[in-house]
Amino acid sequence: MIETLCGQILEVNAAASALVIECAGVGFRVTVTARTLASLPAPAFAPDGTRLETPPIRIWTHLALREDAADLYGFADREELTMYRLLLSVSGVGPKAGLSILSLLPPKKLAFAVANGDTKAIAKAPGVGEKTAAMVVLKLKDKIPKQFPQFFTPGASDEELIRPAPDKKAAAGSSAMADAREALATLGYSRSEIAAALKHADEGAEADEIIRTALSYLVKN
């Protein structure tokens, strides 16, 4: 696994949000978030076109392996990389979609959107629809506070503190079954389809397990 790259920037392709970094004589093409691209210095050249030596830059990377390719994705800091890998843990979010979300919403803003159930903000990322955004909120609402406690610390100022949305379970006296029903509705299933699917789920299970059971039934029927 290539965790970081440190070297000279040889080329920047702003349109593709990509750059080439030369490390020990080897050039690595890395696709980066908009935030990362904006934080990097442009390569410098002399009047005769000779590239000038500039201080080396370091970026954190994620290597995505496929049968026909090995793609590197780069991030300004460890925080951004950690959030990216959390996004990849969500079904339906691939390397490009994860990069698209983080280019629109840096880690703290994404944490705020997830904590407040703001699927519309996440769905604005190119290539990310409402269903995928709903899955991001569902899967990461409990994981993000554990990975990024600094975003939720009581010691932060009012402007910095991220306050999770009110607990719908407590407010409405609902259960994991109600959370599963809401998630299935967000995914586009009708009330009758949801009601039929939930009959096959264990009411005492966690919401994720109920959703998996319901989706298994819906796919087969």
Q: What is the pLDDT of residues 40-65, one digit of tens each?
A: 877 677 788 777 777 889 999 999 98
- AA identity, residue 144: I
Residue 14: pLDDT band (50, 70, 90) is confident
Distance, in Å, from the CA atom of 168 to the CA atom of 152, rounded to the nearest integer, reads 19
Q: Which residue has the higher pLDDT, 107 or 170?
A: 107
- AA identity, residue 18: A
Mean pLDDT across 214-220: 78
* Beta partners for residue 59, in sequence order: 5
Helix, strand and coil content of the chain, in percent to the nearest 5, comes to 45, 20, 40
What Rg value do the Cα atoms of the chain yield, rounded? Answer: 21
Residue 154: pLDDT band (50, 70, 90) is low
Q: Which residue has the higher pLDDT, 217 or 172?
A: 217
Structure tokens at 204: 């005492």
What tens digit of pLDDT does each residue of 66-99 get?
Answer: 888 889 999 999 999 999 999 999 999 999 999 9
Q: Does the pLDDT of residue 160 top 70, yes or no?
A: no
Q: Does the pLDDT of residue 200 top 90, yes or no?
A: no
Total residue count of the chain as it appears in this document: 221
Distance, in Å, from the CA atom of 100 to the CA atom of 97, rounded to the nearest integer, reads 5
Distances (CA, A) of 121 to 19, 68, 137: 28, 33, 11
**The predicted structure's pLDDT at residue 33:** 92
Q: Give the residue ranges of DSSP H helices in the chain.
A: 34-39, 78-88, 95-104, 107-115, 119-123, 130-140, 143-147, 168-172, 176-186, 191-198, 207-220
Residues 6+ apart with CB under 8 A from 200: 213, 214, 217
pTM of the predicted protein model: 0.69
* Beta partners for residue 32, in sequence order: 74
Domains of the chain: 1-76 (2.40.50.140), 79-165 (1.10.150.20), 168-220 (1.10.8)
Distance, in Å, from the CA atom of 36 to the CA atom of 18, rounded to the nearest integer, reads 10
Helices (H) and strands (E) in the chain, counts: 11, 5
